[in-house]
Amino acid sequence: MDPPTKAQPQSNDSDSEDDYMKMTFTDDPSSLTSTSRPSQPETSLQRRQRERREAEARSRVKSKAELAAEVEARREAAHATSLLTLASSSSSKPKSKGFAMMAKMGFTGGALGTAAKEGVKDDRVVEPIRIAVKDGREGIGLESERKRKLHEAAKTAGEATKRARVDEGEYRERMRREREEARLERQVSAAQKVAEGMDDERTERDAADEGREEREEKRREARKGRGISSRPLKSLPVVYRGLVKAREEAERDRRMRHDLEQSLSRLPTYEDDDEDDDDKQAMGKPQTQSTTYVTADDLDDEDVELNEFNALPMAERLQRLVEYLRADHHYCFWCKFVYPDAEMDGCPGLTEEDHD
C-alpha cells in the first residue's frame, strides 16, 4: 500500500504579486478622513506662511462698508432673536437688560387679556411695538409730516381731476344748451318775419278798393325795410310785436344819430325868423331842413302783454308762432308751404321732429 502523498505547499510568490485582472483596488486616498489620513508634520516654511497670513488678517483695517455691513448683520440677528426664547433657553438670569427690567415690572410673555376659545383665531398682540430704525437725519415727526403732505397733494390732485371731469361735462352741456337756444332764437326771428309779411299781404288784399298809387306807396315802404310807421304797436299780434318794436326803435335811433352828425358839420349861425328861404339863399345861409319823426304812438309805453310773451322760453314762443301761422294763414313753418284750407292735408304735424 502506497504511503499518502503529502500536499505540496502553495508558493508565496503568487500571493505577493498583484492580480491586475481582478479590477479591484484598495481604498481611495481621497476618501480617507482627516483622522484616518496619516498626519504629515508641518514644515517650517508652511508654518511661517500660515503665521504671516494670520498676522496680515489681524492687522488689516476694515473699510467703512465692511464695518457697516457687520453692524447691520448684528442688528438683524438681534432683531430676529426673541428675548422670550433667549430667556427660556438660559437657566440663569437673562442676558438682556431690557428683558430683565420688563421681568421686574411683571412681564412674563404672551398676550394680555382673555384667551380665545378653542377653534377661534387668537388675534391678540403677543409682542411689543416694533422699533422703527431711522436711516436719515430728519427730525422726529418730519417723515410723518412729509407723508401727510404727499397724501394731501394726492387727494387735491384727485379732486382737481374729478372737478375737471365734472367741469368738462358741465361745459359741454352748457355749450349744447347755448347752441340750441341760439338756433331756436333764429327760428323765432324767422317765424316772426314770415308772420308779419303774411299779415301785411293780407292787409293789402283787404284794401283792394283803395287807389293804386296808395297801394304802390305802401309796397315801396315795405320793400325799403318797413320804415317807421304810425300804427299802434298794441294793434299788432303779440307774436311778432317785439320784432316791429325793436325795428322801429333802431330806425328812430339811426335817424336821430344821422341828424346829429349833420348838425355838427354846420357852423352855428344867427337865424332871423323874419327871413324867408329867398333871403337866406341870398345871404348864403343854408336853408333849414326840419325832420319830422313819425313813430308809433305807444312806442315808449309799457307793454305788459309783450313782456309776458318775451318772458316765455324760446321753444314755447316758437310753438305759439307756428300755431298762429297755421290758424291764420294755413301756413306750415316747417313745410314752408301754404295749404288751401284749415285741414292742411299732407302736413306731418306741429313740431320739427314730425317733419324729420
Do 330 and 305 share a domain, yes or no? no
Rank 79-93, 123-137, 167-181, 199-213 by mean pLDDT and report only the highest.
167-181
- Grid cell digits, residue 274: 323874419
20 within domain boundaries: no
Do 186 and 199 share a domain, yes or no? yes
Q: Any idea which residue has 418730519 for its cell?
A: 142
pLDDT of 47 reads 92
Do 301 and 153 share a domain, yes or no? no
Sign of the dihedral through C-alpha 86, 88, 93, 96: positive
Task: Report CA 84 to chain centroid distance, whole Å.
Answer: 55
Q: Any idea which residue has 438682556 for its cell?
A: 96
Do 200 and 345 share a domain, yes or no? yes
Give residue 99's pLDDT band: very low, low, confident or very high (50, 70, 90): confident
Mean pLDDT, the chain, rounded, equals 76
Give 202's contacts (C-beta < 8 A, 6+ positions apart).
Answer: 329
Query: Residues 14-18: what's their mean pLDDT?
Result: 49
pLDDT of 187 reads 93
Query: Residues 193-206: what's their mean pLDDT?
Result: 86
Do 302 and 170 share a domain, yes or no? no
Total structural domains within the chain: 2
54 within domain boundaries: no
pLDDT of 210 reads 62
Do 299 and 164 share a domain, yes or no? no
333 within domain boundaries: yes
Do 302 and 326 share a domain, yes or no? no
90 within domain boundaries: no
Do 297 and 345 share a domain, yes or no? no
Q: pTM of this prediction?
A: 0.45
329 within domain boundaries: yes
Minimal CA–CA distance to 333: which of 227, 218, 189? 189
- For residue 244, the enclosing domain spans 227-265+292-309
Alpha helices in 12-139 (DSSP H): 13-16, 44-59, 64-80, 83-89, 97-104
341 within domain boundaries: yes
pLDDT of 48 reads 93
17 within domain boundaries: no
Query: For residue range 303-312, what is the model confidence (pLDDT) as tens digits?
Result: 888 889 999 9
Do 297 and 156 share a domain, yes or no? no
Do 175 and 318 share a domain, yes or no? yes
Query: For residue range 29-48, what is the model confidence (pLDDT) as tens digits?
Result: 554 454 555 568 889 999 99
Beta strands 331-332 and 337-338, pairing class: antiparallel
Q: Any idea which residue has 496680515 for its cell?
A: 56
Does 90 score more than 80 pLDDT?
no
